[in-house]
Amino acid sequence: MVSDEGVVVGEDGLARPVWASRDPLLRDYYDTEWGMPVRDERGMFERISLEAFQSGLSWATILRKRPAFREAFRGFDPDVVAGFDADDVARLMADAGIVRNRRKINATIGNARATVALRDDGGLVDLVWSFRPPTTPEPVTFADVPTVSDESKALAKELRRRGFAHVGPTTMFALMEAIGVVDTHLVGSHRRGTSGVWC
């Protein structure tokens, strides 16, 4: 049932947004992972990579393919991916388990190299978290959830300056939501405020 807060109360009595209420995979992701802080380099690189691959596709598609992505990109170890060459690109383009988009594959390899280069200047994690806004949205319904912010625009600009690709403002806002930099859980959701970042 949909409540006045724009959430769906499941059989377990927990309130979630509609997108996380039907598919068991999305429900588990929402309940355990989405919006929780990511503060390690490999985790951050993986999230940026998967957000880039998601562009134009559903997040459910990416989640279903995530095990294959992790295998294909060697656990998203930036040092390993930074060393990928033309043979690796050919291997990835032949891998039906992932999204076979040459531009996104090349961007992921380039982003790995940019991630490694950032270590001399504070690192990827600190850079992304430095764009945490002073306040977070408080959406009541899905229509209230923004898709971009001044901070996501600034983050996208800075990442591009640092050599990253496929990191537009909308993609970076989705990243910021996914890793807890902002909390866009609906106000009526059981997950609102659970990240420990926003109280």
Rounded CA gap, 126 and 119, in Å?
A: 10
Rounded CA gap, 112 and 93, in Å?
A: 18
CA 183 → CA 1, 84, 125, 163, distances in Å? Answer: 24, 35, 18, 27
Do 78 and 116 contact (CB within 8 A), yes or no?
yes
User: Which active-site residues does the annotation give?
Assistant: 29, 51, 59
Written in H, E and C, the secondary structure of 59-75 is HHHHHHHHHHHHHHCHH
